[in-house]
Structure 1
Amino acid sequence: MNELNAPVTRRRLLDAGPHQALVDDYARYLAATGLSHVSVRIHRGSALHFLAWSVQSGIALDHAGQDIVARFAAHDCQCHSSPRSLGQYYINRVDGFVRYLAARGTLPPQPVAEAPAVDHNVADWLDAQARQRGLATVTIARHSRMLAQILPLIGSDPSRYTPRIIRDGLIEHARTARSVHYPKMVASALRLYLRHLAQRGVAAPGLDRAVPTAKTWRLASLPRYLEPDAVERLIASCDPETPGGRRDRAILLLLARLGLRARDVAELRLADIDWRAGNIAVCGKGRREVRLPLPQDAGDALIAWLSGARPAASGDTVFSRLLPPFDPISSGVVGGVVRRAVGRAGIENAPSRGSHLLRHSAAIAMLRGGATLDAIATVLRHRSTDTTAHYAKVDVSMLGDVAQGWPTDGPACPVAPPLFGLVWPEGAPC
């Protein structure tokens, strides 16, 4: 049977029954927040699916339990002729619709997940990380997650900690870790936590020395970077006629010209830009503020973004999201800008696709342009030039100048003293 003679089957459509008005009201509510037409249609489809399932299951919305979203996520979808996979993003959209219905009184109030109680020693340590070391919120949150993985294995009573308990707990965690990087991060967080406990007198001193150190080799890896022409292709891939293109171009130029970190760009505020002096204030790791010169093209890109048509952001941050509620961007958004630009520019086999790719590229460009390691360390805000020495390994021309040639005079093989009383046979190859 060919396609022309194939029987035509009618697709069974979703039917919200008496709740169709709720779907239309929800669509109008989303459109009023500034959500795009495509996004409204996607959210509307998820809401329609939920209501059609409730009608087919005979669930009265005014008596629906608080586990209504979990029941929807677990159901065997036969709601229409083409069942859809209920991924986490799909369930999140349904959960947003359910909370909208609860806010207008159509559904009973939905429970709000309570944050788990934090041990007072852990809470005190996290607070000290913010006040004394000036760590960023995301770094403190990561330390908290890493510590939460090891505490069930070593216990929460610091007075009972011993070197054996510490090591056995870390070994057990390493056996079940989801990633090879997790044991190293857990060990680092635990080492800081044990030092804090010893300083407060609630744990034995020196326990941090019982934390094994991951075997690493200093400066063993090569920096991942792009050549200058590839960086320019990234920047040129942004469309200056659209708000998103202007924003992404300004972000890429700050990353590529000044080697900023993703968090530096995300937290940049209008007051940090001194237009008269032509510089910007950057508060990096440890909350150390420095002022960096603003290149002309990066400044022009910032002016184009700030003065052109863009979402009406409520805060004083320079960069905001392009979709409602137009909050300030995060470090993840900055990384996404670089990742999409790499795809648009058609750069294949990129060494990485995160924001640090342009930071490394900026350092390599400065090094090849004749800048000293001290100057590069100042721009990148490295506390020690030993960190900046990581980039010197890719300067092939400089390494060629200092490399020593292999000696051509003398014996073909170096003569070594007898080993264990045995003499190397004459004429034997090395």
Structure 2
Amino acid sequence: MNENNTPVRRRRLLDAGPHQELLDAYGQQLSGTGLSPVSVHIHLGSARHFLAWLVQDGITLDQIGPDIVARFVAHACRCHSSPRPVGQYYINRVDRFVRHLAAGGVVAPFPSVEREPVEPIVAEWLASMARQRGLAPVTIERHGRMLAQILPFIGTDPSRYSPRIIRDGLLEHARTARSVHYPKMTASALRLYLRHLAHRGLASPDLDRAVPTAKSWRLASLPRHLEPDAVERLVASCDPETQGGRRDRAILSLLARLGLRARDVAELRLADIDWHAATIAVCGKGRRTVRLPLPQDVGDALIAWLAGTRPAEPGDVVFLRLLPPFGPINSGVVGGVVRRAIERAGIENPPSRGSHLLRHSAATTMLRGGATLDAIATVLRHRSTETTAHYAKVDVAMLGAVAQDWPADEPVQAPPIAPLGIAWPEGAPC
């Protein structure tokens, strides 16, 4: 009873029961990975909930498998007095705990997901793109995934391919595609695949011309960019006193000043930076390495990140993750840095929120500064100025300065029709 003579409801706590030793061992393992005490507590809370549910439902450890985890996710939680929502992050933490048990031999190992076998000719094509064209692994994986979507519609025997089979298969795939972008990417992958087959003599030549072209309007829209002051606000939004702020400032400086791609930043290594010559080597698409000048502010941001406290990770990768498991960042982390900076800077309604936004902004700023498309293409490492025109196509501010007002007060009169010099015959029908 409390002071108002009302019964007090005791909080029912989670109890791992006979599995408490497993939970303690898991906590020690998490602490050894470098997770903060708060993160360890959160992970242990999800694992304790799962173990308490096992005890209440009478499920033994030898029964644990993917189906048991799915039952836990779908169960109506009455394990404690205040039910907790089981979101995706919660599920990921439970799955990590169960895989930890499987790695220690406590539960049966999870069955590995078997991928569908790849046709030998498709595997050869994917390997040739990496060897001859120098495509990145993520690009090769995407091409393979797109081709796997169209092969059920056109078949796997190249000798049977014809223009009608190609066109009908792509149209049927477009009707069932899960995204409006898939037909265009699938057509691009199929076009490359058909050229490889023709080169090997396995299919008729010029079948790639039978692949329909997706409807698009080149250079129909203005480049998506931020104004220079907004870019400066993005860079200034990073706190130089914190570890994450120093790293994010260096990443944003490279994106905004040099127009690098997210993959260029993620794969940057210490050996790529020549401090004496003030240059930086960037290996872009097609494994083409180009040396770019290193601006003073970018170099200062890099030194602040490299000289400050950062995760102790072997290797010469410049940018690392700030949370365990530590290691090199990827393109997704670079995009997340840009998105968080946009929110911190208070930029409303940005044209996009990815790292390419700063690449477009750098190109537009250079165009306004008087640089030609050829010079911008050199900095952005484009082989054709047509590609550069997508990034920096027109100086909108300059056009606004020279545009004239429409004479709204003057009526518009149609010009008189000049006589043809031939009389219209009387009674002739119009």
TM-score normalised by L of structure 1: 0.90
Structure 2 residue aligned with 1:413 = 414
The answer on 1:198 being equivalent to 2:198 is yes
Cα gap change, 1:72 to 1:194, in 2 (>3 Å)? same
Give the secondary structure class of the aligned counterpart of 2:167: helix
AA matched with 2:205:
P
* TM-aligned CA deviation for residue 119 of structure 1: 1.2
In structure 1, distance between residues paired with 2:392 and 2:326: 41
AA matched with 1:413:
A
In structure 1, distance between residues paired with 2:405 and 2:414: 16
Gaps of 5+ in 1: 424-430
In structure 2, distance between residues paired with 1:417 and 1:360: 50
In structure 2, distance between residues paired with 1:230 and 1:162: 53
Q: Which range is displaced more, 149-158 or 191-200?
A: 149-158
Identity of aligned residues (%): 78
In structure 2, distance between residues paired with 1:227 and 1:55: 59
Q: Is the 8 A contact 2:270 2:317 kept in 1?
A: yes
In structure 2, distance between residues paired with 1:343 and 1:215: 35
AA matched with 1:345:
A
AA matched with 1:56:
Q
CA RMSD of aligned residues (A): 2.7
* TM-aligned CA deviation for residue 83 of structure 1: 3.4
Structure 2 residue aligned with 1:329 = 329
* TM-aligned CA deviation for residue 56 of structure 1: 1.2
AA matched with 1:27:
G
Q: Is the 8 A contact 2:360 2:392 kept in 1?
A: no
AA matched with 1:173:
H
In structure 2, distance between residues paired with 1:80 and 1:195: 62
Cα gap change, 1:312 to 1:405, in 2 (>3 Å)? same
1:325-369 CA-partner distances (Å, limit 9, x unpaired): 211100010000000000011111111110011111111111111
Cα gap change, 1:406 to 1:236, in 2 (>3 Å)? closer
Q: Is the 8 A contact 1:259 1:360 kept in 2?
A: yes
Structure 2 residue aligned with 1:342 = 342
In structure 2, distance between residues paired with 1:53 and 1:344: 41
Cα gap change, 1:87 to 1:161, in 2 (>3 Å)? farther
Q: Which runs of 4+ in 1 moved over 6 A?
A: 4-7, 400-407
Cα gap change, 1:51 to 1:204, in 2 (>3 Å)? same
* TM-aligned CA deviation for residue 61 of structure 1: 1.0
* TM-aligned CA deviation for residue 28 of structure 1: 2.0
Give the secondary structure class of the aligned counterpart of 1:281: strand
1:59-92 CA-partner distances (Å, limit 9, x unpaired): 1214545643334334343323343343333222
Structure 1 residue aligned with 2:218 = 218
Structure 2 residue aligned with 1:312 = 312
Q: Is the 8 A contact 1:62 1:108 kept in 2?
A: yes
* TM-aligned CA deviation for residue 415 of structure 1: 5.6
AA matched with 2:414:
C
Q: Is the 8 A contact 1:315 1:328 kept in 2?
A: no
Structure 1 residue aligned with 2:227 = 227
* TM-aligned CA deviation for residue 98 of structure 1: 1.0
In structure 2, distance between residues paired with 1:327 and 1:185: 31
Q: Is the 8 A contact 1:23 1:48 kept in 2?
A: yes
Q: Which range is displaced more, 36-45 or 123-132?
A: 36-45
In structure 1, distance between residues paired with 2:6 and 2:219: 66
Q: Is the 8 A contact 2:272 2:280 kept in 1?
A: yes
In structure 2, distance between residues paired with 1:416 and 1:397: 40
Structure 2 residue aligned with 1:95 = 95
In structure 2, distance between residues paired with 1:354 and 1:415: 55
Structure 2 residue aligned with 1:427 = none
Q: Is the 8 A contact 2:194 2:203 kept in 1?
A: yes
Q: Which range is displaced more, 227-236 or 199-208?
A: 199-208
Structure 1 residue aligned with 2:248 = 248
* TM-aligned CA deviation for residue 272 of structure 1: 0.3
* TM-aligned CA deviation for residue 37 of structure 1: 2.4
Cα gap change, 1:76 to 1:30, in 2 (>3 Å)? same
In structure 1, distance between residues paired with 2:192 and 2:392: 31
1:155-166 → structure 2 map (5 Å cutoff) = 155-166=155-166
Q: Is the 8 A contact 1:73 1:86 kept in 2?
A: yes
Q: Is the 8 A contact 2:238 2:245 kept in 1?
A: yes
In structure 1, distance between residues paired with 2:65 and 2:243: 43
Cα gap change, 1:224 to 1:415, in 2 (>3 Å)? farther
Give the secondary structure class of the aligned counterpart of 1:292: strand
Give the secondary structure class of the aligned counterpart of 2:133: coil
In structure 1, distance between residues paired with 2:307 and 2:43: 32
Q: Is the 8 A contact 2:158 2:202 kept in 1?
A: yes
Cα gap change, 1:8 to 1:366, in 2 (>3 Å)? farther
AA matched with 2:59:
I
In structure 2, distance between residues paired with 1:213 and 1:301: 44
Q: Is the 8 A contact 1:150 1:170 kept in 2?
A: yes
Structure 2 residue aligned with 1:140 = 140
* TM-aligned CA deviation for residue 6 of structure 1: 8.1
AA matched with 2:280:
I
Gaps of 5+ in 2: 425-430
Structure 1 residue aligned with 2:428 = none
Q: Which range is displaced more, 130-139 or 334-343?
A: 130-139
Structure 1 residue aligned with 2:427 = none
In structure 2, distance between residues paired with 1:415 and 1:218: 38
Q: Is the 8 A contact 2:223 2:392 kept in 1?
A: no
In structure 1, distance between residues paired with 2:391 and 2:16: 61
* TM-aligned CA deviation for residue 156 of structure 1: 1.8
Q: Is the 8 A contact 2:195 2:208 kept in 1?
A: yes
Cα gap change, 1:221 to 1:152, in 2 (>3 Å)? same
* TM-aligned CA deviation for residue 314 of structure 1: 2.1
Cα gap change, 1:120 to 1:77, in 2 (>3 Å)? farther
AA matched with 2:278:
G
* TM-aligned CA deviation for residue 231 of structure 1: 0.7
Cα gap change, 1:230 to 1:168, in 2 (>3 Å)? same
Q: Which range is displaced more, 154-163 or 384-393?
A: 384-393
In structure 1, distance between residues paired with 2:216 and 2:5: 67
In structure 2, distance between residues paired with 1:417 and 1:180: 51
Give the secondary structure class of the aligned counterpart of 1:221: coil
